[in-house]
Structure 1
Amino acid sequence: MATAQLTGSTFGAAVSDLRRGWEQRSLWGHLGWQDIRQRYRRSFLGPIWISLTMAVTAIALGTLYAGLFDNDLATQLPHVLVGFIVWGFISGCINEGAEVFTSNVGLITHLPAPLSVHIYRLVWRQTLFFAHNLVVYVVMLFIFHQDLKWTGLAVIPAFLLLALNGAWAALLLGIVATRFRDFVPIAQSVVQLAFFLTPIVWIYDELARSPNPAIAERAKLAEFNPFLHFLEIVRAPLLGQDQQLRHWIVVLAITVVGWALTMVVLRRYRARVSYWV
């Protein structure tokens, strides 16, 4: 028993969990599809409600903030709409990640599968939501023409980085929240606060160039918000805007640090999650 516990507390065991979970793609891929079908099983419009709700909210806030900041609606609305699509993925990974193990207690206690299966399932489900919401983005392109460039293909590695960070965030938060149940509402409150501090409905570059020095200096504080950088590496290519190297550097640094910390936590507490749930 002691040997088994020691073996289960090594980095090799943690890496093996991630590897074996990835190999069970047919399992978590099927479960991810079933999650969406189950959620909208008796709905006439089904998953279309996801995009409709997001689109209506984005249009309302985009119109409101365009008036408040005296911005052109053709600039403000696409900015808000794409921001909502990306933020939906980020917030979904964090909010659902905090409950990823406690909400799957039945599978964890009865299904002999790696913990990472539940993380891959969550990220896959959020990816499906993201892809579904891109339909609204395509409609927006017909209404508000964007000067897209070939550099827009950068959205592919950008989203892969986003998903990679969503995986470590869900895994880390899931383990912590399983041990400390009060952490779930804390994480949800932080995400709600971050929504207002992140340039989703307001345009960071315009405020940073404001002729009012006080407003410009306060706007630049957003650089310390990590969500800004994740948002921009995906939103910029979708809107045909130039890429900023600093956003990629920050995201890559967070990816390395985040996964390093997560692997330490996974190595130490992976075997205890089934008891905590």
Structure 2
Amino acid sequence: MGLGSPIPAPGSVRQVLASATPSRNSFARAVADLRGGWAQRQLWAHLGWQDIRQRYRRSVLGPIWITISMAVTAVALGVLYAGLFGNDLSVQLPYILVGFIIWAFISGCISEGSEVFIANEGLIRQLPAPLSVHVYRLVWRQMLFFAHNLIVYVVMLVIFPQQLGWDSLTVFPALLLLGINGAWVALLLGIVTTRFRDLAPITQSVVQLLFFLTPIVWIYDDLLKNAAVAERARLVEFNPLLHFIEIVRQPMLGQEQHLRHWVVVLLITVVGWALTLVALRRYRSRVAYWV
């Protein structure tokens, strides 16, 4: 600024600074939170691993107990539903086992996501870290549980071999989409339930209800073949969890994959993250006061 230039008024200085600094409720701050959380992946990866070690600190088998419990339940239901629907056990049991493995990840992201910020109240108030750190930590922890549960899947492949081909490699982008959606679900639910605490137990009840409404223990294609219930069975297509389950289960079982499941999942991913960014933009700075 030259010597002859007029001195700007205080009001104009504030306007220049305001235009140069992103607002606390701007989308730039929301995106910066997500990027900052990802940049601290060593922190949340370590915390997620410590969560598992802490939970099973005095257990001999550790998180394998979850795998054993899930395997016993899946086998019991597989034998039961195979008899009820008249299916071969080699078809019904792998279907249920893989469904349980995927459902454990989805339900974990929803249930724990509803309390992700409430459970980390101390860290949020004392540790100056992006909110997304706690969400990444949750999703990473669920991924570790998913990896543990794959032991059941490997055993199942030995007992009931599946016709896996190159198409089965699509399970990797499917798992990536599952994790990306788990992040926005946990982030959005975490913000809402932190403000309205009554929604947390409601979320738990809804998750239990969704288990019965989603084809995990019953085979959706079998109902479509039954003329008496085929029309009503098609209503399951409106359940978004059906599509998330199928994009992972079909390649894991070597089944024919359907494009509509991928289209629905991609659409939900875009819409879900758009809504989450809006919520993060408006309420990110208030979470520390709500917890």
With the shorter chain as reference, the TM-score category is over 0.9
Instruction: Name the CA distance, whole Å, in 1 between partners of 2:149 and 2:21.
Output: 44
* Counterpart for residue 185 of structure 1: 201
* Counterpart for residue 257 of structure 2: 243
TM-superposed CA distance for 1:99, in Å, is: 0.2
Larger Rg: 2
* Counterpart for residue 129 of structure 1: 145
Instruction: Name the CA distance, whole Å, in 1 between partners of 2:231 and 2:275.
Output: 32
* Counterpart for residue 42 of structure 1: 58
Do residues 9 (structure 1) and 25 (structure 2) align? yes
* Counterpart for residue 78 of structure 2: 62
TM-superposed CA distance for 1:215, in Å, is: 1.2
Which runs of no fewer than 5 residues in structure 2 stay unpaired? Answer: 1-17
Do residues 155 (structure 1) and 138 (structure 2) align? no
* Counterpart for residue 259 of structure 1: 273
TM-superposed CA distance for 1:39, in Å, is: 0.4
Which runs of no fewer than 5 residues in structure 1 stay unpaired? Answer: none
* Counterpart for residue 116 of structure 1: 132
Amino acid at match of 2:240: P
Higher mean C-alpha deviation, range 4-13 or range 140-149: 4-13
Find the residue that maps to 1:214 and give its secondary structure: coil
Instruction: Name the CA distance, whole Å, in 2 between partners of 1:165 and 1:37.
Output: 26
Contact 2:193 2:199 in 1 (8 A): yes
TM-superposed CA distance for 1:92, in Å, is: 0.2
Do residues 197 (structure 1) and 186 (structure 2) align? no
Amino acid at match of 1:102: I
Q: Give the number of equivalent residue pairs.
A: 274
Question: When the two structures are superposed, what TM-score results if normalisation uses the length of structure 2?
Answer: 0.92
Find the residue that maps to 2:256 and give its secondary structure: coil
Deviation by residue 1:240-262 (Cα, 9 ceiling, x = unmatched): 00110000000000000000000
* Counterpart for residue 247 of structure 2: 233
TM-superposed CA distance for 1:45, in Å, is: 1.3
Task: Please tell me the root mean square deviation across aligned C-alpha atoms, in Å.
Answer: 1.4
- Evaluate the alpha carbon distance shift between residue 40 and residue 5 of structure 1 in structure 2; reply closer, same or farther with a 3 A threshold: farther
Do residues 103 (structure 1) and 114 (structure 2) align? no
* Counterpart for residue 13 of structure 2: none
TM-superposed CA distance for 1:85, in Å, is: 0.2
In the TM superposition, structure 1's runs of 4+ consecutive aligned residues that sit over 3 Å from their partners are 3-6
Amino acid at match of 1:105: E
Instruction: Name the CA distance, whole Å, in 2 between partners of 1:252 and 1:154.
Output: 14
Contact 2:56 2:63 in 1 (8 A): yes
TM-superposed CA distance for 1:6, in Å, is: 6.8
Instruction: Name the CA distance, whole Å, in 2 between partners of 1:129 and 1:47.
Output: 7
* Counterpart for residue 76 of structure 1: 92
TM-superposed CA distance for 1:272, in Å, is: 0.1
Instruction: Name the CA distance, whole Å, in 1 between partners of 2:21 and 2:92.
Output: 55
